[in-house]
Amino acid sequence: MSRILRTLAPWLEGLLLVLLAAAPLLTAWTSQPFWLDLATRLTILAIAAAALNLVLGIGGLVSFGHAAFLGIGAYAVGIPAWHALYGGAEWIASANGFFHFALAAGAGALFALFTGPLALRTRGVHFIMITMAFGQMVFYLLQSLETYGGDDGLTIDTRSEFPLANLDDPAQLHWLAFATLLAVLLLIWRMREAPFGLALAGARTGERRMRALGYDVTRIRLAAYVLSGALTAIAGAWLANHAAFVSPSMTDWTRSGELMFMVILGGAGRLLGPLTGAAAFVLLEEVLSSMTTYWHLPFGLLLILAALWQAGVFSKEGSST
Amino acid sequence: MNRPLLELMDVHKAFDGLGVSVGVHMEVRLGETHALIGPNGAGKTSLIDQICGEIVPDRGRIVLDGEDITRLPVHRRARLGLARSYQITSLMDALSVFDNALLAVMAHCGTPWRMFRSARNDERLRDAAIAVLARVDLGDHVEHPAGELSHGLRRQLELAMTLAGHPRLLILDEPMAGLGPRESARMVELLQELKEDHSILLVEHDMDAVFTLADRISVLVAGRLIATGTPQEVRSDREVRRAYLGEDADAA
Ligand SMILES: Nc1ncnc2c1ncn2[C@@H]1O[C@H](COP(=O)(O)OP(=O)(O)O)[C@@H](O)[C@H]1O
Ligand SMILES: [Mg+2]
């Protein structure tokens, strides 16, 4: 980013936060529900991008499979809700929102815990490839779930139920998602200053030295990966509630590329960068889809190239330095 | 005579059939400064890499204070009190000098798992980091990114990284590499101070520095340790003169 943008960005991001906080009021005032829809989508994508920023921006781990966590979180809402409505699988059937979100976070963390150790044995381009492969694994797994719509996905007929809140009300859903975003940003803000965040950043820029100092770099990275997976899955649970629909395409590798694009456009490692990235993405998506119906593939490829280029994949040193 | 702190027993390592360590027996005693010298390519850095765990020997044992560490990962050895500097400076370049020192301090007191309380505002960590930076004359550069320092200052920070944890054994790989005469003189002064309360394994090409600092010297040539002894003994060793010291003019 140029110098002007760099000084301007925090102000714009602050303004964006205010606009997002006030979005339900603004849209009610202008009677343009479409804008609230956009604002909520932006908010949820910003949660996912902030979670990815933790590993990619601070930790320097270019995960190209993060959309898998979105899908895992979304199906952690979709599957219990479906069984709650249509019976079967009592052990998981539930309309309870706390259960949905806990299941999302738990499943996301678990998936990261199992795939992380293998992925973290690799570096640079290999890490990108292996995380992408794990992501595609989830994609095909979800596609094969015929009970839950297979390729076509699953419509969610009852959103997550919370006491005192009703997610069928777009304003309430928006505010709760926004509160989640604030909580995630707060967590990352504290963490960057704390020993854990410092160690994670140290491993990004000086892995060899960090090991020689006595840090178990692999475990620190795994912890960050697991935390990031859980948070991204929570974003996925919000996405499911917002769209009232889940499908395997949420975990497609181009989705992972889009998340990477958001992180990198907003400035990898910057606390509020994911806000800028998500805003730019949502706007681009709107503009392009209004111009042509065939926007998705070229747009996706462009984003991924931009993301990989920015991550230094095409430079000689790779991204792990 | 002090008890041995670090012992290498019959250490072998070959790269593509070429031996970089050939049956190395070596001992660093508690409290001594032990210099390891030898021509370029003799296998000094490779030996350090094996002591610190970046390379696993093909054969032989490495023992630190009675404990076999031959197969421990790098970070575990560091926690046992091995601290090394690299011949090619290895820092967290994107972080500030202060954060580098902070991480070095944190590695030995405190936990990397704390997620909420700031490390930079933790007085205990802060004071320790400032103290170690002051010791290597970097007090004026705390906010600079480590990657933007001059070569000489980077070498000083490299040294600071090893001091922060109050290590049991300091392993220094050519601390004077690339330094000008004045910076070198300052480094020798620093090492002389450190020598008072540290056990040191020192690899260095600067023979004046070696003979000033070392209590004992080992000579490595083509992966073999050909001599170990006091500076006087090594200086007068015929094999050493032939294999190494005679070539000093060429090596420089
Ligand atoms: N990872 C490696 N793979 C293959 N050869 C290596 C490796 N590391 C060092 N060498 C070779 O081992 C020999 C000893 O190198 P080194 O230990 O760096 O010597 P010194 O530090 O004494 O100058 C050199 O010939 C070097 O090229
Ligand atoms: Mg060397």
Q: How far apart are CA A33 and CA A28, in angstroms?
A: 7
Residues of A in contact with B121 (CB under 8 A): 193
Three-state secondary structure readout of B47-114: HHHHHHCCCCCCEEEEEECCEECCCCCHHHHHHCCEEEECCCCCCCCCCEHHHHHHHHHHCCCCCCCC
Look at residue A210 and tell me whether its pLDDT is greater than 70.
yes
Tokens of A25: 């009021």
Of the partner residues A187, A195, A223, the one whose CB lies closest to the CB of residue B119: A195
Query: Of A238, A178, A179, A191, which Cα lies nearest the Cα of A55?
Result: A191
Residues of B in contact with A216 (CB under 8 A): 75
Q: What is the rounded average pLDDT of the residues B182-201?
A: 94
Residue B189 distance to chain A (closest CA, Å): 24
Spatial neighbors of B66 by CB under 8 A, at least 6 apart, are none
Which residue spans within chain B are E strands per DSSP? Answer: 4-15, 18-29, 33-37, 59-64, 67-68, 82-85, 169-173, 199-203, 216-221, 224-229
Lowest model confidence (mean pLDDT) among A87-96, B49-58, B202-211: A87-96
Q: How far apart are CA B3 and CA B65, in angstroms?
A: 9
Position A266 scores a pLDDT of 87
pLDDT digits (tens, 9 = 90+) for A65-117: 999 999 999 999 999 999 998 888 888 989 999 999 999 999 999 999 999 99
Amino acid identity at B101: A
Lowest model confidence (mean pLDDT) among A11-25, A35-49, A305-319, B199-213: A305-319
**Does the Cβ of B164 fall within 6 Å of ligand 1?**
no
Q: Is B169 helix (H, G, I), strand (E, B) or coil?
A: strand
Of all residues in chain B, what percent carry a pLDDT higher than 90?
Answer: 84
Query: Of A189, A140, A176, A207, which Cα lies nearest the Cα of A40?
Result: A176
pLDDT digits (tens, 9 = 90+) for A185-209: 999 999 999 999 999 999 999 999 9
Position B247 scores a pLDDT of 53
Q: How far apart are CA B215 and CA B198, in angstroms?
A: 12
Look at residue B252 and tell me whether its pLDDT is greater than 50.
no
Residues of A in contact with B84 (CB under 8 A): 212
If you average pLDDT over every residue of chain A, what do you get?
A: 90
More confident residue, B162 or B251: B162
Look at residue A269 and tell me whether its pLDDT is greater than 50.
yes
Position B104 scores a pLDDT of 96
Position A2 scores a pLDDT of 62
Decide: A273 and A81 in contact? Cβ < 8 Å: no
Range B1-81+168-252: architecture per CATH: 3-Layer(aba) Sandwich (3.40)
pLDDT band at A316 (very low <50, low <70, confident <90, very high): very low
Q: What are phi and psi of B67, to 5 degrees?
A: -100, 130
Cβ burial, residue B112 (10 Å; 0-12/13-18/19+): buried
Residue B126 distance to chain A (closest CA, Å): 12
Look at residue B245 and tell me whether its pLDDT is greater than 70.
no
Lowest model confidence (mean pLDDT) among A128-137, A297-306, B114-123: A297-306
Give A96's DSSP letter.
B
Of the partner residues B79, B90, B92, the one whose CB lies closest to the CB of residue A214: B79
Work out which ligand 1 atom sits closest to the CA atom of B223: 14
Tokens of A214: 């006595």
Per-window interface: B 52-71 vs A, CB < 8 A: 52, 54
Report CA torsion sign: A166, A167, A168, A173.
Answer: positive
Look at residue A175 and tell me whether its pLDDT is greater than 60.
yes
Lowest model confidence (mean pLDDT) among A245-259, B77-91, B108-122: B108-122
Q: Regarding beta strands B59-64 and B4-15, do their DSSP bridges make them parallel or antiparallel, or are they unpaired?
A: antiparallel
Q: What is the rounded average pLDDT of the residues B80-90?
A: 96
Tokens of A191: 């963490």
**Domain boundaries of chain B, sorted by first residue:** 1-81+168-252, 90-166
Position A317 scores a pLDDT of 41
The protein residue whose alpha carbon is closest to atom 13 in ligand 1 is B41
Q: Is B13 helix (H, G, I), strand (E, B) or coil?
A: strand
Look at residue A33 and tell me whether its pLDDT is greater than 60.
yes
Long-range contacts of B132-141 (CB under 8 A, 24+ apart): B132/B101, B132/B104, B132/B105, B132/B160, B132/B163, B132/B164, B133/B97, B133/B98, B133/B101, B133/B157, B133/B160, B135/B160, B135/B163, B135/B190, B136/B160, B136/B163, B136/B190, B137/B186, B138/B97, B138/B101, B141/B97
Q: What is the rounded average pLDDT of the residues A17-22?
A: 95
Is CATH 1.10.1220 what the domain over A2-24+35-320 is classified as, yes or no? no
Position A314 scores a pLDDT of 59
Look at residue A48 and tell me whether its pLDDT is greater than 50.
yes
- Please name which ligand lies nearest the alpha carbon of B49: 1
Look at residue A284 and tell me whether its pLDDT is greater than 70.
yes
**Which residues of chain A have a Cβ shorter than 8 Å from any chain B Cβ?**
187, 190-191, 193-199, 201-202, 204-206, 208-217, 220, 223
Q: What are phi and psi of B124, to 5 degrees?
A: -60, -50
* ipTM here: 0.93
* Residue of B11, B13, B15 to mutate, ligand 1, most atoms within 8 A of C-beta: B15
The neighbouring-strand residues paired with B169 are B82, B199
Q: Is B252 helix (H, G, I), strand (E, B) or coil?
A: coil
Position B149 scores a pLDDT of 95
- A205, closest residue in chain B (CA to CA): B92
Position B246 scores a pLDDT of 59
Lowest model confidence (mean pLDDT) among A27-31, A125-129, A213-217, B97-101: A27-31
